[in-house]
Amino acid sequence: MNLRLPSKVLEHIISFIDSNEDRNSVSLVCKSWFETERKTRKRVFVGNCYAITPAAVARRFPEMRSLTLKGKPHFADYNLVPDGWGGYAWPWIEAMAKKSPSLEEIRLKRMVVTDECLELIAASFKDFKVLVLTSCEGFSTDGIAAIAATCRNLRVLELRECIVEDLGGDWLSYFPETSTSLVSLDFSCLDSEVKLSDLERLVSRSPDLKSLKLNPAVTVDGLESLLRRAPQLTELGTGSFSAELKPEAFSKLSEAFTNCKQLKCLSGLWDVLPEYLPALYSVCPGLTSLNLSYATVRMPDLVELLRRCSKLQKLWVMDLIEDKGLETVASCCKELRELRVFPSVPDLDATNVALTEQGLVFVSQGCPKLESVLYFCVQFTNAALITIARNRPNIKCFRLCVIEPFAPDYKTNEPLDKGFKAIAERCKYLQRLSVSGLLTDKAFKYIAKHAKKVRMLSVAFAGDSDLMLHHLLSGCESLKKLEIRDCPFGDTALLENASKLETMRSLWLSSCFVSFGACKLLSQKMPRLNVEVIDEHPPETRPESSPVERIYIYRTVAGPRLDMPEFVWTIHKNPEIGVSHLAIK
């Protein structure tokens, strides 16, 4: 009996599957499912731009409409990846321009994007709709102008925390004079002032605009004027508030906010003076997302704002919120799902910040839906971690940064092993974990054993020996990304668990004791991994056994990359350091 589904039926069924993970599984069933799936996938996600060639992606997914790419490793955010390492968008844009001209959406994270890239996007994709650049660099406002001018159906243009060469605010005037289809515009990371009148006119002729994130150069008056023209906004990033408070400006602003009845997300708020906060009260009850992480507002000014936010699901703040403020959040924000608390002074020394582990304990007690945490704190205790784990077994993302490296439980002076053990054991859905504070190898044994769903793990200044890495690489069944810095392990664990690395997207190691020799060996053993040694100093100048600065290892079907700078060493690019009889394809 023929059990095969007609391909049209199969296609129809598969078209309902959105999740790429599910689609990946579908494509493994058999050849015909693979073929049907690939022909129907519209949204393609490539987590490491060097894992596969652009041509291969274009070939496999002929109906691709949306491409998301990530370039540099995560630790590039903390300046651990030298400039010039790579992550260039150009080869991808160039390939897609030729082979996937129907592409409508491009989302890039941590990539180097040039003006030429942006101009090529504008010129090549006739129905281009969405451009989102997160933590990207290498382009100027000229490139943005090209997008604005040429992409007539542009809906989304978002520059999130990019480093842009800002040549002035003219780029905004390049949007077409006729009405636009803009739904979302985010230029919060640009420095230059844009002409308010240009912005006002753009907003007025963009009836679909729902999300607008301004840069700090936009003043209170500007903000008020824009809100009047776009009361339909659901997401707003304000400009600066740093002017002195004038009563007239304040009441106008309050009124403008009152008319924004659909506002759900609020961010920006740079330099906001406490005196301005009451202007926001009218939108608080409807807010689901509030980003105060650049607002230097202190307690108790924050309380009045927070206690009105009963529907809040996402809150980003600075540690100026203190334990007291978090207590308010715990009692008023019962819908909270995500909390991030950032340090107000990055080189925190101390003891003068009234934010302790207790703040997070409050929130874990009071907010039953809490599932994502990022918390910077000077010191912590096992007891607090255990309490948090008991309160919130539904946590999916737990990132604790104890700012003091090697800091033990400050009450008992023990390592934080027990605390993180509790987190790993109780939070069965944990997908992302960052650990910190004083940790022995044991902590990693617990994590390896219990954190079965953890996909991404970040470790710094922890562990005693190779055992820690051995635990992680031989356990942690779902591990996809591991990034480690400043830990005292050497070659053994890495080499013994080499095969694990092919099941992962990537491994980052910096300031550990892994040697050049080990990197070469690993590279020989595992031809489907790219083993990149990122080190300023050429290998000939030191012995094989000497440790290297940074290693980035990732699986790839694209082979060695062709765009490595001089400070990246691999046995392919630098055969003089490799074994001479190694066959290079």
Partner 1 sequence: MAKELGLGLEITELRLGIPGDNYSEISVCGSKKKRVTSDMMTLSSLNTEDENGVVSSVDIAADGVEDDSVKSQAVGWPPVCSYRRKKNNEEASKAIGYVKVSMDGVPYLRKVDLGSNHSYNNLATVLENLFGCLGLGVALKEGEKCEYVIIYEDKDRDWMLVGDVPWLMFKDSCKRLRIAKRSDATSFGLQRD
Residues lying near partner 1 in the complex (CB under 8 A) are found at: 75, 77-80, 82-83, 135, 137, 161, 163, 165-166, 189, 270-271, 293-294, 296, 342-349, 376, 401, 403-406, 458, 460-461, 485-486, 510-511, 513, 535-537, 541, 546-550
Nearest CB to partner 1, comparing residues 18 and 347: 347
Least CB distance to partner 1 at residue 300 (A): 20
Minimum distance of partner 1 from residue 297's CB (angstroms): 12
Q: Which is nearer to partner 1, 271 or 496 (CB)?
A: 271
Q: Would you give the DSSP letter of residue 415?
A: -
Residue placing its CB nearer to partner 1 in the complex, 165 or 576: 165
Based on its alpha-carbon atoms, the radius of gyration of the chain, rounded to whole angstroms, reads 25
- For residues 6, 12, 14, 17, the Cα torsion angle rounded to the nearest 10 degrees is -170
Least distance between partner 1 and beta carbon 62 (Å):
37
Residue whose CB is less far from partner 1, 127 or 161: 161
Backbone angles phi, psi at 295, to 5 degrees: -95, 120
- Dihedral angle computed from the Cα positions of residues 142, 144, 150 and 155, in that order, rounded to the nearest 10 degrees: -170
Instruction: Give the shortest CB-189-to-partner 1 separation in angstroms.
Output: 7
Comparing CB distances to partner 1, the nearer of 80 and 476 is: 80
Q: How far is the CB of 84 from partner 1 (least distance, A)?
A: 8
**What minimum distance in Å lies between the beta carbon of 405 and partner 1?**
5
Pairing status of strand 506-510 against strand 550-555: antiparallel
Q: Report how far residue 187's alpha carbon sits from residue 8's, in angstroms, rounded to the nearest whole number.
A: 44
Q: Which CB atom, from 79 or from 178, has the smaller least distance to partner 1?
A: 79
CB of 107 to partner 1, least distance (A): 18
Cα gap 340→327, rounded to integer Å: 15
Beta strand 235-237 pairing with 265-267: parallel
Q: Where are the beta strands (DSSP E) in 161-254?
A: 163-165, 184-186, 211-213, 235-237
User: How far is C-alpha 430 from the chain's CA centre?
Assistant: 17
d(CA 512, CA 518): 13
Neighbouring residues of 549: CB distance < 8 A, sequence distance ≥ 6: 510, 511, 534, 535, 536
- Residue (45 or 513) nearer to partner 1, CB: 513
